[in-house]
Chain A
């Protein structure tokens, strides 16, 4: 299994631009999570899906952030418009169960907004 695949690995964009981060979960994993990692706040859950349906998006910081999961093998996290304070590493993770099995993380996308 190739694991959780995220793209791009690095993204540098200018303030005000739209950014789209992509994730392919492990086949058969029913849960997909988007996390953000910063030095100040550590790892924060942004949103998670169960069977492609968003279950909890209370961690999404603002309306500028949106996430979709059109099918079981693909999810996107979009920031529009981007701001310098959005600079962080964004992780996607998937799991066959909620909690007990542990989450398998992708390699993350390092986003820099200048």
Chain B
């Protein structure tokens, strides 16, 4: 099965602290893309960061970075210096044939 697994339904972090959201996936393909999307209460799906599987270097976008372990099929998201505006649902996603497979999401709460 071509699945994406997010094992943490909910996470919380103190403002200004760092939090890591986990994601594992299953694929038989050698070339694919991985994404983290943020869905705030407004329900807009916002692309946070993307990673190309053939690149070993971990992607970084300002306070957001990933730890991509291709052999382990792991793709975690690290949020540094957490802000109140980071509170949202976070979805991990992977490209596949004719589809973009999403995980079930992690709800992140930021505590002031």
B62 within 8 A of A: no
Q: A42-B105, A56-B98, A99-B100 are in contact. Are A93 and B33 (CB under 8 A)?
A: no
Main secondary structure of the interface of A (DSSP, over half): strand
Q: How many chain B residues touch A (Cβ–Cβ < 8 Å)? A: 21
Stretch at the interface among B12-20, B41-49, B66-74, B75-83: B41-49
List of A residues within 8 angstroms of B105 by Cβ: 42
Q: Does A104 count as interface, using CB distance less than 8 angstroms?
A: yes
Main secondary structure of the interface of B (DSSP, over half): strand
Interface presence of A107 (CB below 8 A): yes
B99 in contact (CB, < 8 A): yes
Q: How far is the CB of B44 from chain A (nearest CB, A)?
A: 5
Given contacts A48-B98, A100-B95, contact A93 B104 (CB under 8 A): no
Q: Determine whether the beta carbon of A102 is less than 8 Å from that of B33.
A: yes
Question: What are 24 A-B pairs at a CB distance below 8 A?
Answer: A42-B104, A42-B105, A43-B91, A45-B98, A45-B100, A48-B98, A56-B99, A89-B43, A98-B95, A99-B32, A99-B33, A99-B95, A99-B100, A100-B52, A102-B35, A103-B47, A105-B44, A105-B45, A105-B46, A107-B42, A107-B43, A107-B44, A108-B43, A110-B43
